[in-house]
Structure 1
Amino acid sequence: MLSALLLFLAWSCGVLAVVARAPDSPFPAAAAERRAVQREILALLGLPHRPRPPSPLKRTAAPLYMLDLYRAVLSDGPEPRVPLPPTEHEEERLLSDADMVMSFANLVVDPEEDPSVFHQYHRFDLSRIPDGETVTAAEFRVYKDFVHERYENETFHVSVYQVLREQDGRDSDLFLLDSRVVWAAEEGWLVFDLTATSNHWLLHPSQNLGLLLTLESQDGEQVKPRAAGLIGSRGPQNKRPFVVAFFKATGVHLRSVRSAPGHKQRTQNRSKTPKHAAPSSQEALKLAEAAENVSVDPKQGCKKHELYVSFRDLGWQDWIIAPEGYAAYYCEGECAFPLNSYMNATNHAIVQTLVHFINPDSVPKPCCAPTQLHGISVLYFDDSSNVILKKYRNMVVRACGCH
């Protein structure tokens, strides 16, 4: 496996050129070089710094759910696409529209068993959302176990409230967000809509006072959530409540382009080059004769080459959940006259090749560059151990051609 050990980033022929070490070379030994590589890739991923989650290895409910979403968005590669369960078809629609999905762990630890408490209190920190992202949907998810004792054949009315104001000596002011009826024998995740509330909390973080969950029997009596099978923050890690939000970028943020040494000089020299007219009849005859005698070795022509970027080699396995790396590929090869069909040349590249053949000193050859790029999805922890699934465009070369 070729480890993607990037030495520098340079702009060549209008595309970002990535130079890799030999397959058997170790990761950059120099600390400064290693940090430079990490900074560049973090910038590509839109991260200001390397996340350092406090406890990234916990297999809690949120990471497991997010891993299912990650598998669902895979369309190719070593892992096959995994469809979501039938009850999760809405997530497939949200996934296709979202640029980013983020889960939030519950910040509140349930108190020890208290006979006077008939509710669950939850709070989630939404302040870690990156700038430029808008919530398109948000869900509060609570797991319900099968109840086979006292309430076996009963139904419950589950309500989720937004805490508007906390007051000493009396109940908090609440606003009903969502509710549903569940059977005692029902088992699985209960999903409550939190879209409007999450957007309100983003605009007014100081008003994020949490959520309150209550239960009533069919007779209107209060029921303890745990007695009805609802799992709180003291339950098994893979069943603890969490919030998941889907985001859409509000604008496109482009990184500044830094030219490689000498690029500016080449541009200036080229700008002074006189324009050339289309080939004359005599020159066209010369081209026709040359085309019969010139043949380009397909092995030397413009094509896609192997390049694998390993997140593990970068030392990021503690915060990137998946993938361990990805096949980025790169384009390299000759774009020489005549441009054969396998070179996937543009019309402009064909004309430029003809002019270069006649006047090689004044007009350069076309460049071998990507003609088709695909994206990847990365699942990772942030500094607060929240889990983020983000799509990154134009990360994988699918096809090359002469430009």
Structure 2
Amino acid sequence: VEQDRDLFSPKPYWKEFRFDLTQVPAGEAVTAAEFRIYKSRGVPGHANSSLHISIYEVAAQHSNRESDLFLLDVQDLRAGTEGWLVFDVTAASNHWSVDQKYSLGLRLYVETDDGLSVDPGSAGLLGRRGPRSKQPFMVTFFRASPSPARVTRAAKPPRRRQPKKSNDLPHPNKLPGIFDDVHAADGRQVCRRHELYVSFQDLGWLDWVIAPQGYSAYYCEGECAFPLDSCMNATNHAILQSLVHLMKPEAVPKACCAPTKLSATSVLYYDSNNNVILKKHRNMVVKSCGCH
């Protein structure tokens, strides 16, 4: 169960989550962890505006002042974005696995380009009031655990929070490297679409292809390393394969970067009887890429 500071509360608005860790043996080493929350389209009419979503670990609580927060991850996206958002919360999970008394939860903030606080619910971020299939959850991978992945849902009611002293939050664009499309582990680019122009002349096909002379086919390339971000369009199988790869890299490869959506292209050409044919060929253009 999460706690909110919403439109009926003083700014800045936030949403907070706590997790039941009673089933996690103390002292296990965390290899990686991610927090997933579903975002709907939000308030109509602002689909093209930008939102900056920050997630913090609640590091300490105080009776006479605001809680200490530790920045974990930030995402910059369009307000009209819809789908699962994935945040790297490995650092927080490491703290919690050492001693569960440090498990004070995660706090999520939403801001505009101008630094104005936005109610997470109004921005389309679904919590426990959303459909069961779209409720937020956390996945943690333990190196020593017999089970490679654990899913922990928000369960415990959070403790009472004191009002935040200041409305100032670190703006995502001021954080170096947050929006670089490279994986932090090895500096390689993450899975994405790349330009590829196919020239029918270079292929020697212009003796039977009339038009076009060529077309942009694109191709997919990049790393599919855990944690798989929302921009990687990862399948559930790819997420699990990535987790198992962390445990047994010599036995199981990483997920592969491949097309997730393809579209057709029309080609005018001569057939074997020298008839002029206009045909739409399926699966000729890569529209999007993802980890499989």
**If the length of structure 1 is used for normalisation, what is the TM-score?**
0.34
Structure number with bigger Rg:
1
**More strand per residue: 1 or 2?**
2
